[in-house]
């Protein structure tokens, strides 16, 4: 008997926003075996439908279908560490399992903590994340003891740069006064560990936070978060932050199955792969990684490199006039080493993703790319600027001529532009962080990412920030750099696919591509742009399989 | 408490040569922490002393790696037969940050910071658009600087950044240099030993403090012989204080965490009230 093709499913919707410029709108899309056969109307699909078994699926008839959303840069392992902790935060955090309300005073903070501790669900060590001095008042060992002296409690600061413990936690972790009395960044009296003291505390905490079952729980929670954000593709933009094998094996065990509604693109972290070797040896190891690929988890010819320090920690490297207080940023490798590393991967034909946060960090990346183009010209090379915190219009112009892509964390504008205006770099530069409007005008392939856990893993949130540029104070920051909703949706679909080198398979809805969809209650291109982030996501479709979401 | 010495300096300045030379000369068991970023695994191979330990490090922030290589390495040295630790900072490190491990990791103390500079490239590096500031910080923050290949150079510009500059040819024994014979901190300790009347006190504060108030305090207490440390002001800017009987200087510093000043004095000293 001849093998019969599987049944065709035709989804109909109020509108299908295809992100394929040749046929931007459709009413129906026919799917077979995880792939799109054709988009159009029920009438125009007849040549297929009249010849093959099919069913019309009307479950999305009152909704809008867009291509499956893509977050091209987040960190599953960071998320896996954070998500099992108990959130008590100054900002509201929407999560699949419930919304963490904003907690804005010391009294409220203590109440929330007491309430959490009264539930029997926590393990041997209770870790809470989100404490912020400005909102929740100074934290100390005695304050925690007065809330609960029996349960070991660790309070992890919003910034990740400090922890505070009660007596029970110090006892559990065997941290004794005599051992730490001379350490200047450990305040034993107050139970506080910061900066280098934090390193000491983390070392004691690691058996708890990186315990296999906790890490697994965290990755399973991330799975819900990714689905909740309407994403069908994510990229782990630096495998091996903590431990390469654990991260890869745990993700493979949890995500490589029929019930997983997304794929993970894996990008090797060159420094991790290099440890103890030359950069050429690191390249050889990275070249072999695709041997470990599976259906949903794939390494390709991509690598992650770094120029300067973190944007949130104010260690981005800035050009003149620098930071208002005169401090300087940090390099993550010497410019000479960076150039040498780029050269090795460039010459082997890799797409190179470069973490750049400040304009001086970006300058190094642009200068280096220019040098590579002089030495060995390449086209469509996929050299991508990751984060894109501060930049100059002239740098964006050069990036365009050199053929680079940009993957921006637009959320910087929302969370940091106000405080960076006042306390870091001044209004002109703070308001134009993530200079995305210019990037689109220069014709650069531009995408948006969350860098989760730096920003919520919700592409519609990233799109909302890029389209509105409204900061947490409610002010519009640099309206000239806003993009249109059409550009915003391009950024989180087809452009994200291009930046990951997957635009031949995903990122738009057209014949031949994978049937990845995100189903929305409203049309993101026609709704009042200020509501984009609140659009209800009804379901995602991953390679033809429907994954419903509870109403948000 | 195991003493920690930081050896800083830009790529190719001669840090490894110096450490290697020292390891050849010494018989004392020393641990060397080598920063493993790019060039530096080669250095790890160069450093070879059978009685000593060499540990590799990578860069990055503990908050995004959940591990602190320097801290973990120091912790692993506890209980081992080690007399001292030398940390070879990476070419892009500001030494103060690394020196903080000597001050803040339980069980260790800071001996001092030695910077190494290459005379033939230091001038260009100080002007470099990407690393000029970092290289300047490496020279400024060191207790002493070893200047290699300095023939034909004028030292004036470097002396503006650091007064304790030693030329390669002045150093007869690397051990002396590294074991901090020339270090300011060592000088303080020597004074303490030889002059029983000298005492020291450490003042730390998390509150912002005006430079002027520190200066006033020093002027009002002429029995203070020397002071060194960091002063953090209201605007978050910290500066490096260096006071000798002849001068009292503040220079810019990236140090951030708190005000921390060591006073060396004779007789009695009432604690400052800032």
Contact B92 A336 (CB under 8 A): no
Please return the burial class of B94, using the count of CB atoms within 10 Å of its CB with bins 0-12, 13-18 and 19+: buried
Contact B235 A325 (CB under 8 A): yes
Return residues 107-166 of A near B (CB < 8 Å): 159-161
Query: Edge-to-edge strand order for the sheet containing B224-232?
Result: B198-205, B259-266, B224-232, B238-244, B247-253
The pair of three-digit structure tokens given for residue B247, joined into one six-digit string: 């001068």
DSSP of A29-86, one letter per residue? EEEETTEEEEEE-TTTTHHHHTTS-EEEE-TTTTSEEEEPEEEEEE-HHHHHHHTTSE
pLDDT for A392 equals 98
Return residues 228-247 of A near B (CB < 8 Å): 241-242
Q: In sequence order, what are the residues at sequence separation of 6 or more whose Cβ sits closer than 8 angstroms to the Cβ of residue A80? A: A215, A216, A217, A218, A219, A221, A222, A250
Please return the burial class of B110, using the count of CB atoms within 10 Å of its CB with bins 0-12, 13-18 and 19+: buried
Interface predicted TM-score of the whole assembly (ipTM), two decimals? 0.79
Contact A333 B92 (CB under 8 A): yes
B132 touches chain A (CB under 8 A): no
Q: What's the rounded Cα separation, in Å, for the pair A459 and A465? A: 10
Q: What angle do CA B53, B59, B63 make, to 5 degrees?
A: 115
When CB atoms are compared, the residue of B11, B56, B129 closest to A334 is: B11
Query: What domains are defined for chain A?
Result: 1-62+506-552 (2.30.40.10), 78-209 (3.10.310.70), 307-483 (3.20.20.140)
Do the beta carbons of residue A192 and residue A139 sit within 8 Å? yes
Contact A337 B58 (CB under 8 A): no
Do the beta carbons of residue A31 and residue A544 sit within 8 Å? yes
**For chain B, how many residues are written?**
274
Question: Taking phi first (over 0 means left), then psi (-120 to 50 degrees means alpha), and beta for anything else, what does residue B265 get?
Answer: beta
A291: three-class secondary structure by DSSP: helix
Tens digit of each residue's pLDDT (9 = 90 or more) over A383-411:
999 999 999 999 999 999 999 999 999 99
Q: What's the rounded Cα separation, in Å, for the pair B21 and B15? A: 10
pLDDT for A241 equals 83
Whether pLDDT at A191 is above 70 = yes
Do the beta carbons of residue B115 and residue B40 sit within 8 Å? no
Q: How far apart are the first and last CA of chain A?
A: 47
Calculate helix-pair angle for B95-104, B69-77, nearest 10 degrees.
Answer: 40
B3 touches chain A (CB under 8 A): no
% of chain A surpassing 90 pLDDT: 81
- Least confident segment among A279-293, A505-519, B238-252: B238-252
Closest residue in B to A323 (Cα) is: B237
> Which chain B residues contact residue A330 at CB under 8 A?
92, 94
Q: What's the rounded Cα separation, in Å, for the pair A321 and A309? A: 18
The pair of three-digit structure tokens given for residue B196, joined into one six-digit string: 């029983």
- β-pairing, B238-244 vs B247-253, is antiparallel
Q: What's the rounded Cα separation, in Å, for the pair A20 and A503? A: 11
Tens digit of each residue's pLDDT (9 = 90 or more) over B117-162:
999 899 999 999 999 999 998 998 888 888 888 776 777 778 888 8
> Which chain B residues contact residue A182 at CB under 8 A?
1, 106, 109
> Which chain B residues contact residue A242 at CB under 8 A?
65-67
Contact B237 A326 (CB under 8 A): yes
CB neighbourhood size of A374 (10 A):
8
Whether pLDDT at A497 is above 70 = yes
pLDDT classification of A262: cutoffs 50, 70, 90: very high
Contact B37 A271 (CB under 8 A): yes
pLDDT for B39 equals 36
The pair of three-digit structure tokens given for residue A40, joined into one six-digit string: 């159009």
Whether pLDDT at B179 is above 60 = no
pLDDT for B194 equals 44
Q: In sequence order, what are the residues at sequence separation of 6 or more whose Cβ sits closer than 8 angstroms to the Cβ of residue A111? A: none
Cα distance from B10 to chain A (closest Cα, Å)? 9
CATH code assigned to B2-187: 3.40.50.300
- The arithmetic mean of pLDDT across residues A469-482, rounded, is 96
DSSP of B240-273, one letter per residue? EEEEETTEEEEEEE---S-EEEEEEEES--PPP-
Tens digit of each residue's pLDDT (9 = 90 or more) over B192-243:
444 445 566 667 787 888 888 888 888 888 878 777 777 888 887 888 787 7
Tens digit of each residue's pLDDT (9 = 90 or more) over A452-470:
988 899 999 999 999 999 9
Cα distance from B237 to chain A (closest Cα, Å)? 6
> Which chain A residues contact residue B68 at CB under 8 A?
196, 198-200, 202-203
- β-pairing, A297-306 vs A192-194, is unpaired
Tens digit of each residue's pLDDT (9 = 90 or more) over A107-166:
999 999 999 999 876 678 999 999 988 789 999 999 999 999 999 999 998 877 789 999
- The arithmetic mean of pLDDT across residues A226-237, rounded, is 98
A290 touches chain B (CB under 8 A): no
pLDDT for B150 equals 78
Which residues make beta-bridge pairs with A511? Answer: none
- The arithmetic mean of pLDDT across residues A361-388, rounded, is 98
CB pairs < 8 Å spanning A and B? 145
* Superfamily name with CATH number, domain B195-266: CobW-like, C-terminal domain (3.30.1220.10)
Return residues 51-80 of B near A (CB < 8 Å): 56, 58-68, 70-72, 75
Domain ranges across chain B:
2-187, 195-266
DSSP secondary structure code for residue B4 in this structure: E
When CB atoms are compared, the residue of A183, A184, A241 closest to B260 is: A184
Return residues 98-117 of B near A (CB < 8 Å): 100-101, 103-107, 109
Closest residue in B to A181 (Cα) is: B106
pLDDT for B270 equals 81
Tens digit of each residue's pLDDT (9 = 90 or more) over A312-351:
878 899 999 999 988 888 888 889 989 999 999 999 999 9
Q: Which has the closest alpha carbon to A541: A1, A13, A7, A166?
A: A13
Return residues 36-55 of A near B (CB < 8 Å): none
pLDDT for B191 equals 43
Q: Which has the closest alpha carbon to A328: B235, B133, B234?
A: B133
pLDDT for B44 equals 47
% of chain A surpassing 70 pLDDT: 98
pTM of the model as a whole? 0.82
A359: three-class secondary structure by DSSP: helix
Closest residue in A to B260 (Cα) is: A184
Cα distance from B123 to chain A (closest Cα, Å)? 17
Tens digit of each residue's pLDDT (9 = 90 or more) over B47-101:
444 455 556 555 455 555 566 778 888 888 888 888 888 888 888 888 888 888 8
């Amino acid at each position: 008997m001849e093998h019969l093709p599987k049944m065709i499913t035709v989804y109909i919707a109020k509108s299908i926003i295809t992100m394929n410029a040749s046929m931007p709108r459709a009413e129906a899309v026919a799917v077979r075996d995880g792939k799109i056969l054709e988009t159009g109307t029920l009438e125009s699909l007849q040549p297929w439908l009249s010849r093959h078994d099919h069913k019309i699926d009307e479950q999305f008839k009152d909704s809008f279908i867009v291509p499956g959303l893509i977050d091209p840069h987040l960190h599953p392992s960071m998320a896996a560490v954070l998500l099992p902790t108990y959130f008590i935060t100054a900002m509201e955090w929407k999560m699949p399992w419930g919304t963490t309300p904003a907690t804005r005073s010391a009294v409220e903070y203590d109440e929330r903590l007491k309430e959490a501790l009264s539930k029997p669900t926590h393990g041997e060590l209770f870790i809470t994340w989100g404490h912020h001095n400005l909102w929740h008042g100074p934290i100390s060992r005695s304050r925690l003891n007065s809330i609960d002296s029996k349960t070991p409690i660790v309070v992890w600061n919003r910034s990740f740069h400090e922890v505070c413990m009660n007596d029970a936690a110090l006892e559990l972790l065997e941290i004794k006064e005599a051992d730490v009395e001379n350490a200047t960044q450990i305040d034993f009296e107050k139970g506080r560990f910061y900066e280098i003291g934090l390193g000491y505390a983390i070392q004691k905490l690691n058996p708890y936070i990186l315990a296999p079952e906790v890490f697994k729980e965290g990755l399973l929670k991330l799975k819900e978060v990714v689905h909740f954000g309407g994403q069908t593709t994510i990229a782990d933009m630096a495998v091996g932050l903590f431990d390469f094998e654990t991260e890869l094996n745990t993700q493979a065990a949890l995500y490589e199955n029929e019930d997983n509604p997304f794929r993970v693109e894996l990008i090797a972290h060159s420094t991790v792969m290099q440890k103890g070797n030359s950069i050429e040896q690191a390249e050889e190891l990275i070249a072999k990684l695709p041997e470990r690929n599976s259906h949903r988890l794939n390494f390709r010819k991509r690598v992650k490199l770094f120029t300067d320090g973190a944007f949130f920690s104010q260690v981005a490297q800035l050009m003149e006039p620098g930071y208002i207080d005169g401090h300087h940023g940090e390099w993550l490798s010497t410019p000479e080493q960076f150039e040498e590393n780029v050269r090795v991967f460039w010459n082997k034909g890799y797409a190179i993703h470069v973490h750049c946060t400040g304009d001086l960090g970006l300058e190094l990346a642009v200068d280096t790319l220019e040098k590579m183009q002089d030495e060995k010209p390449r086209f469509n090379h996929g050299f991508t600027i990751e984060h894109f915190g501060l930049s100059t219009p002239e740098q964006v112009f050069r990036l365009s001529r050199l053929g680079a892509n940009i993957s921006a964390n637009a959320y910087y504008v929302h969370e940091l532009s106000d405080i960076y205006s006042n306390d870091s770099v001044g209004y002109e530069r703070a308001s134009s962080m993530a200079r995305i409007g210019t990037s689109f005008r220069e014709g650069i392939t531009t995408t948006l990412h969350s860098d989760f856990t730096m920003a919520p893993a919700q592409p519609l949130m990233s799109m909302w920030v890029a389209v509105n540029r409204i900061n947490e104070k409610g002010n519009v920051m640099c309206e000239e750099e806003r993009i249109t909703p059409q550009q915003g949706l391009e950024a989180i679909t087809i452009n994200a696919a291009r930046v990951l080198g997957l635009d031949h398979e995903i990122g738009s809805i057209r014949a031949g591509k994978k049937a990845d969809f995100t189903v929305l209650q409203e049309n993101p291109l026609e709704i009042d742009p200020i509501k984009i982030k609140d659009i209800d996501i009804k379901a995602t479709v991953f390679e033809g399989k429907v994954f419903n979401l509870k109403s948000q | 408490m195991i003493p920690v010495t930081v050896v800083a300096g830009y790529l190719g300045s001669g840090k490894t040569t110096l450490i290697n030379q020292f390891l050849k000369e010494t018989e004392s068991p020393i641990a060397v922490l080598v920063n493993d970023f790019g060039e530096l695994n080669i250095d790890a191979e160069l450093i070879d002393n059978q009685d000593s330990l060499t540990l590799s490090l990578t860069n990055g922030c503990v908050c995004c790696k959940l591990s602190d290589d320097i801290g973990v390495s120091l912790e692993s040295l506890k209980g081992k037969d080690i007399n001292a630790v030398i940390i070879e900072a990476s070419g892009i490190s500001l030494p103060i940050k690394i020196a903080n491990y000597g001050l803040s990791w339980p069980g260790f103390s800071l001996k001092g910071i030695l910077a190494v500079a290459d005379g033939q490239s230091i001038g260009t590096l100080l002007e470099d658009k990407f690393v000029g500031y970092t290289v300047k910080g490496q020279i400024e923050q060191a207790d002493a600087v070893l200047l290699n290949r300095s023939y034909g150079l004028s030292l004036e510009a470097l002396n503006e950044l650091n007064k304790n500059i030693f030329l390669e040819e002045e150093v007869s024994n690397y051990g002396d240099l590294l074991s901090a014979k020339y270090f300011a901190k060592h000088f303080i300790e020597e004074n303490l030993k030889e002059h029983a009347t000298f005492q020291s006190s450490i003042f730390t504060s998390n509150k912002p403090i005006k430079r002027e108030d520190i200066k006033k305090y020093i002027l009002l207490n002429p029995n203070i012989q020397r002071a060194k440390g960091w002063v953090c002001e209201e605007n978050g800017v910290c500066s490096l204080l260096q006071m000798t009987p002849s001068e009292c200087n503040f220079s810019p510093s990236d140090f951030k965490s708190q005000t921390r000043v060591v006073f060396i004095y004779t007789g009695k000293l009432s604690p400052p009230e800032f």
